[in-house]
Structure 1
Amino acid sequence: MAMNFCPNCGAKLRPDAKFCGSCGKKIQRDDAEPADERDLPPQPQSTPQPQPTPTPQPTPPQPQPTTQSQPTQPTPTYRQDVTLQEKFLTTSGRLNRWRYFVRAMILLVPEILLYIVAVATTPPNSPPNYMAGVGLMLLLYGLIMLVPNVMLTIRRLHDLDLSGWFYLVFLIPFVNALFGFYALLAPGTRGPNRYGPDPLEVQGGW
């Protein structure tokens, strides 16, 4: 057991001594609790007060950015063919059934009349050179008229929303006749297509 000494006179003290036996001085214990803290009644534990929940403030509406509408593109309108080049010597645009038929007849009728006149005016006993000359003339006229005929047919195919390369179908025997009736009689695309506006927007004319 550890011995204690009086801080005043240095006399030995018992471990549980509260006063010095020699000088009578009160002994302070290090492990003793302070009198004020020991004698105080226990303090009641404070109950934490509930914190009020903050009320969310309404957020003012943000103005929406205004988007400018894109201007609509004007719908292209069909323009009537005026010149002979626009009527017969172009592959641009579309050609409806009636205009195709009328223009094809304008090219075909003179060839038929020329053939009739050539046959009617040829004497029965004409020399072979004469007959060859008439045949060559008819052939040349047919070749010249082939160019506008091809261009008219390509524009008619455009009205059916078909590429002009479909004209090569006319090189196939038997199929060319059926395809020719289809190109002549089938109605075109209603409204604009990839080849231009609808030619039926403009009535009349050839």
Structure 2
Amino acid sequence: MHYYVDVIKRYADFAGRARRQEYWMFVLCSIPIMIVAIVLDFLLGSYPVIFYIYNLAVFLPTLGLSVRRLHDTGRSGWWYLIGFIPFVGWIAMIVLMALEGDAGPNEYGANPKQVTA
């Protein structure tokens, strides 16, 4: 759960790098919350108000995390726009987010896997 909270704390931080684990754990925590929001919307007859409010609330943290994840692979945050290509963009984003990050430091910062003293 701390992965989710850590991302929310770094609300609009686009600098640095994010590990694969940080990204995918945030996604794993977000999916059940979105499902609950959809169910609540359905039960209350307000579909999709709660779902959209949640997505709006986590838009900037998710964008910041995605940019930091792209930085970890040595790519600019502008690569995020590839996800808007119809039909294949989201597949390309999944592949980019699943790639292992650069082993050493890159132009976006030190390797987040290395423990700093």
- TM-score, length-normalised on structure 1? 0.48
Higher helix share: 2
Identity of aligned residues (%): 28
Instruction: State the distance in 2 between where 1:142 and 1:100 align.
Output: 16
Query: Is residue 107–residue 145 contact of structure 1 (8 Å, CA) maintained in 2?
Result: no
Match of 2:9 among 56, 72, 85: 85
Tell me which residue corresponds to 1:141: 54
Q: 1:160–1:139: structure 2 CA closer, same or farther, 3 Å change rule?
A: same
Q: Which residues of structure 2 form unaligned runs of 5+?
A: 1-5
Query: Is residue 94–residue 155 contact of structure 1 (8 Å, CA) maintained in 2?
Result: yes
User: Deviations 1:57-92 (Å, cap 9, x if unpaired)?
Assistant: xxxxxxxxxxxxxxxxxxxxxxxxx68423x43111
Instruction: State the distance in 2 between where 1:171 and 1:83 align.
Output: 23
Q: Which has the higher contact order (CA 8 A, sep 6+)?
A: 2
Tell me which residue corresponds to 1:9: none
Instruction: State the distance in 2 between where 1:115 and 1:175 align.
Output: 26
Question: How many aligned positions are there?
Answer: 110
Offset, 1:118: 2.9
Match of 2:66 among 149, 153, 157: 153
- TM-score, length-normalised on structure 2? 0.80
Aligned-residue RMSD, C-alpha: 2.0
Offset, 1:109: 2.6
Q: 1:146–1:183: structure 2 CA closer, same or farther, 3 Å change rule?
A: same
Match of 2:24 among 101, 104, 116: 101
Tell me which residue corresponds to 1:198: 111
1:167 maps to a residue whose letter is Y
Offset, 1:178: 1.9
Instruction: State the distance in 2 between where 1:179 and 1:105 align.
Output: 19
Instruction: State the distance in 2 between where 1:109 and 1:191 align.
Output: 34
Tell me which residue corresponds to 1:118: 41
